[in-house]
Amino acid sequence: MNSIILRAGTRYLVGILLIFSVYMLLRGHNEPGGGFIGGLIGATGFILYTLACGTAEARASLRIEPQVIAMVGLGIALLAGLGAAVFAEPLFTGQWLFIGETEDDKGLPLSTVLVFDIGVYLVVFGSILTLVFAMEEEI
């Protein structure tokens, strides 16, 4: 598709969608969202970019091959699950660290669960883009 309006609009939309996808990822544990939804939104952003500017440009701006992203995500998710072994707990048991915890407030929660969710995000993001790029290029 060769539409200047779409191209111009896309440049702004992609950034917004990516930020929004990270926001959805991070709020997922308490509000609707999470790695799966975040990954889908992020992928949607890049698909929009692909439709507007073509796969070559989309690949160039992504810098990393999408299948690499997917596999790295899978590795991160696995590591997050294996992390429990360090604390001698069954695999995939969530490990939590609350920074600045007080009586009333949990502070900033950091956890292997979040790492796992980031892995899910990258898997969904990378896998969908792998598919879309391949299909677009094939046709």
Partner 1 sequence: MGETSTKTAGNGLSGWLPTLIAAGLFAYFATLVPAVAEGNVLRLVYDWVPSLGISLSFLVDGLSLTFALLISGIGTLVMLYSNTYLAGHPQYARFALFLTSFMLSMLGLVLADNLISLFVFWELTTITSYLLIGFGHETEKGRRSALQALLLTGAGALALLAGLILLGVTAGTFEISEILAKGDEIRAHALYLPILILLLAGAFTKSAQFPFHFWLPNAMAAPTPVSAFLHSATMVKAGVYLLARMHPAFSGTDVWLWTLTIFGAVTAVFASVLALRQTDLKQALAYTTLMALGTLTLFLGQQSGYAITAFVTFLIVHSLYKAALFLVVGCIDHATGTREADILGGLGRAMPITAVAAAVAALSMAGFPPFLGFIGKELKYAGALAVASEPMLVAGAVLLANALMFAVAGVVAFRPFWRRADGELPKSPHEAPWQMLAGPVLLAAAGAIFGINPDLLQSTLVNPTVATFLGDPGEAKELKLWAGVNLPLFLSIATFVLGFVIYLLHRPLRRGLADLDARSPNFDRGWDNVLAGLVAVSNWQTRLLQSGVLRRYLFTVFLTVVLALGGTILARGVWEGAPDFSDVAARNWAILLLIVAGAAVMVVTRSRIAAVAALGVVGIGVALIFIVFSAPDVAITQLLVETLVVVLVAVAMLRLPFLDPPGQSDHRPVDALLAIGVGAVVTVTILAVIGTPFDTRLTDYFETASWPEAFGRNIVNVILVDFRALDTFGEIAVVVVAALSAYALLRTTVKDKKQ
Chain residues binding partner 1 by CB under 8 A are 28-37, 40-41, 43-44, 47, 51, 67, 70-71, 73-74, 77-78, 81, 91-92, 94, 96, 106, 109, 111, 113, 116-117, 119-120, 123-124, 126-128, 130-132, 134-139
Nearer to partner 1, 14 or 73 (CB): 73
Nearer to partner 1, 7 or 94 (CB): 94
- Report how far residue 12's alpha carbon sits from residue 68's, in angstroms, rounded to the nearest whole number: 26
The count of C-alpha atoms lying within 13 angstroms of the C-alpha of 117, restricted to the half-sphere facing its C-beta, is 22
Closest approach, Cβ 52 to partner 1, in A, equals 12
Closest approach, Cβ 35 to partner 1, in A, equals 7
The answer to whether the beta carbons of residues 51 and 109 sit under 8 Å apart is: no
The answer to whether the beta carbons of residues 55 and 46 sit under 8 Å apart is: no
Q: Alpha helix (H) ranges present in 28-102?
A: 35-53, 55-62, 66-86
